[in-house]
Amino acid sequence: MTSVRAGPSREAVDVRRRTRRTRAQAVVDCATFPVRAVLPWRDDRWGLTSRRSERFIEVASRVRGRTLDVGCGRHDIFVREFLDGDGIGIDVYAYDGLLPSQIVEDMHGLPFDDASFDTVTLVATLNHVPERDRDAELGEMWRCLRPGGNVIVTMGHPFAEWAIHRLVAFYDRVLGTSLDVDDERGMHEDESFFVANSEIVARLRRAGFRGISRRRFWTQWGLNGLVEGWKP
């Protein structure tokens, strides 16, 4: 089992997260969302926040400390860049920039001690967990959380998730880019483009989480959001 050190205080974490985007920037991002939604880039440009950065900012603002990011993707960007390295990202696929220790092919037995993390995040990844495995894997995440810790699951509106995946795949074919990490790994038959909020809430409750709440991202016109639950 891997031992994980305690994270910084909640006060230190909160101050660090709030510096990521000003209110004025959020208003600009909201006004330009239709443009940002179709642009073929994942990084911030032209004074606008990318959809990926925006999602990471929203999640980071609710992180409590040491974080386990499940399904981190290329380069473990969320933990390394948005949490200043305070945690670890893991994935089932060996994306560029990940260490061998970050590849966990079997999420039914996470290689971490009980109560190792303050927060567990699934940023647009629960839909990639086969339906039959979702309860068991969320149970493992529960085990790795300390009492008082939280889990954060982001998921877009069903149509938005489908449309964005199709659009990004189109850009990759036409422009020769490699934006679609799902296409790199390959979507399996038992994966889906989205998971309904009602299912997310039900599965979190079955795993033992309480105080579950839902929050929509107003800067993305409510087409993306998160579900958050707490371990008593």
Angle between helices 197-207 and 134-144 (to 10 degrees): 50
Q: What pLDDT score was predicted for residue 175? A: 73
In sequence order, the 6+-apart residues with CB closer than 8 A to the CB of 174 are: none
List the pLDDT tens digit at each of the 232 positions of the chain. Answer: 444 433 443 433 443 443 368 999 999 999 999 999 888 778 899 999 999 999 999 999 999 999 999 999 999 999 999 999 999 999 999 999 999 999 999 999 999 999 999 999 999 999 999 999 999 999 999 999 999 999 999 998 887 777 777 777 777 678 777 666 666 666 667 777 789 999 999 999 999 999 999 999 999 999 999 999 999 9
> Cβ of 217: how many Cβ atoms within 10 Å?
22
Q: What pLDDT score was predicted for residue 187? A: 64
Residue-range domains of the chain with CATH: 19-230 (3.40.50.150)
> Cβ of 116: how many Cβ atoms within 10 Å?
24
Q: What pLDDT score was predicted for residue 5? A: 39
Structure pTM? Answer: 0.85
For the chain, the C-alpha Rg in angstroms (whole number) is 17
Q: Which candidate, 183, 52, 39, places its Cα nearest to that of 124? A: 52
> How do 87-90 and 210-216 pair as beta strands?
unpaired
Secondary structure of 126-191 in HEC code, one letter for each residue: HHHCCHHHHHHHHHHHHHHEEEEEEEEEEEECHHHHHHHHHHHHHHHHHHCCCCCHHHHHCCCCCC
In sequence order, the 6+-apart residues with CB closer than 8 A to the CB of 61 are: 17, 18, 20
Q: What residue spans of the chain are helical by DSSP H? A: 10-18, 23-31, 33-36, 51-60, 77, 134-144, 158-175, 181-185, 197-207
209, exposed or middle or buried, with CB in 10 Å at 0-12, 13-18, 19+?
Answer: buried
Q: What is the separation, in whole angstroms, between the first and last Cα of the chain?
A: 23
Looking at the DSSP bridge assignments, the partners of residue 103 are: 91
> Cβ of 101: how many Cβ atoms within 10 Å?
10
Give the integer Cα–Cα distance in Å for 4 and 202: 29
What are 71's two structure tokens? 């399904």
Q: What pLDDT score was predicted for residue 7? A: 40
